[in-house]
Structure 1
Amino acid sequence: MTVIIILITALVSWQAFNNPELKSRLMFIPTAVKDRGEYYRFLTHGFVHADFRHLLFNMWALYIFGQAAEDIFQVYLFGPAFGKVAYLLFYCAAIVAASVPDYLRHQDNRMYASLGASGGVAAMIWPYIMWMPWAWFIFPPLPAILIGIGYIAYSHYADKQGGSNIGHNAHLWGAIFGLIAYVSLSLAYEPGLMTEFVARLLQPQGPNF
């Protein structure tokens, strides 16, 4: 399912690169939602990107974190059949949830628009982190649990600072949604995942690249 999402996102984004009208129809524009009821934009903006670099970074991150999340959904939470559907719903819900704060903030701002899968991708880091909290990354050279905490802290800080075209608020709320939703699903359907997370968290490991 992760590969399918990546392929669909890449295809739609590629078409939008060369079709400004298509990009405009799919972007998240809060005033269009409020004035014309175009609620589909809460989701469709996650399948278009500003440029190839934006697309490549998001899809690389989704490939890394999404496959781990997909495995957890299929093996531990919902089984191989419904697990794929639940994983897709989790991803799409994260895209929507990450956009709600920006809608509330910018619903009367006709200059505001956003696009990209960052909100959905940010949600995917938490299943990965809570399964392998001490997995080390080459860049930044930190364990996953610190990257997750740092990601939320930095997104909040950067959003407050402003002055950037990067949607830090969507990153922040995508990550928060992912954490809350994943913990809630785990407690409801497989509490052993949380027990395993605590056990692994209490056994720090050194760098293992």
Structure 2
Amino acid sequence: MNFNLFLIAIIAINVIVSFKGFEDLSFFRKYKFHVGSIRAGEQIRMISSGFLHADVPHLAFNMLSLYFFAPVVYGMLNNFSFVLIYFASLIFGSLLTMIFHNNDYSYSAVGASGAVTGIIYSAILLDPTLEIYLFFIPIPIPAYLFGIGYLLYSIYGMKAKNDNIGHTAHFGGAIGGYIFTLMKKPSIFVDNTFMVVILAIPIIILFVMAKRGKL
């Protein structure tokens, strides 16, 4: 992978802010996503929470995922589009979380997962042939299966509600990455119609389940 200042800067900010949060509980509490605090006017949490993480494995997983998928995005689009999609996905993740948990004043979460999921979705749309290796699977798997599986796991996390990870933000991020990538490169609708349709499936499942009160 070619050195990219924008990618390294985003990873560095995530690492610095996350480790500050690991060491300083008051800092962590002040900047994590918390519905009650956001509704009270602390909107900065909708951005800052995307740079905090629950623990080192959570941080490592997100940053490794970003490291491997980001080159496709800035390579096939440009640096500005990469940064735009990253932050748009982060914001979409926070907005969707507020929609789903608007009346749950105690709900809190952290993680760059929304932004990273947006980058993953963007990369898959841009390069449908993309394959990845997972530690426990010795053969490459299509990246779109990873992306869809990641969101289906997020549905489980949303239902279980047994951790501090922003699972709802995964979907908001996916929507952000999906929309902004198609806006940046509308030819994907024609060139990769299958991928446009199949990546929409978990998003549709989420809203159907929400509509039926299953979340």
Give the TM-score normalised by the residue count of structure 1.
Answer: 0.78
Question: Where does the alignment leave 5 or more consecutive residues of structure 1 unmatched?
Answer: 75-83, 202-209
RMSD across aligned C-alpha pairs, in angstroms? Answer: 2.4
Give the match for residue 110 of structure 1: 105
Q: Which runs of 5+ in 2 are unaligned?
A: 1-5, 197-215
**Equivalent residue runs for 1:33-112 within 5 Å:** 33-35=38-40, 37-74=41-78, 84-112=79-107
Which residue does 2:179 correspond to in 1? 180
CA distance in structure 1 between the partners assigned to 2:14 and 2:7 by the alignment: 11
- Number of residues of Structure 1 aligned to a counterpart in Structure 2: 186
Describe how 1:13-24 pairs up with structure 2 within 5 A: 13-24=18-29
Q: Note if contact 2:66-2:116 (Cα within 8 Å) is conserved in structure 1.
A: yes
Identity %: 31
Q: Residues 30 and 106 of structure 1 are in contact (CA less than 8 Å); yes or no, is this contact kept in structure 2? A: yes
* Contact residue 30 and residue 113 of structure 1 kept, 8 A: yes
| Cα separation, partners in 2 of 1:94 and 1:200, compared to 1, 3 Å | closer
Residue 39 of structure 2 aligns to which amino acid in structure 1? K
| Cα deviation digits, residues 100-140 of structure 1 (max 9, x gap) | 12212333333211111000000011222123323332226
Q: Whose Rg is larger?
A: 1
Taking structure 2 as the reference length, the TM-score comes to 0.76
> Relative to 1, partners in 2 of residues 1:21 and 1:128: Cα closer, same or farther, differing over 3 Å?
same
Task: Say if 1:72 and 1:127, in contact at 8 Å, map to a contact too.
Answer: no
For residues 30-52 of structure 1, the C-alpha deviation after alignment (integer angstroms, 9 at most, x for no partner) is: 111112x1111111111111111
Residue 8 of structure 2 corresponds to 3
Q: 1:25 to 1:142 in 2, by over 3 A?
A: same
Distance in 2 (CA, whole Å) between partners of 1:50 and 1:152 is: 19
Higher strand share goes to which structure? Answer: 2
Per the alignment, in what secondary structure is the counterpart of residue 99 of structure 1?
Answer: helix
Counterpart of 2:162 in structure 1 is 164
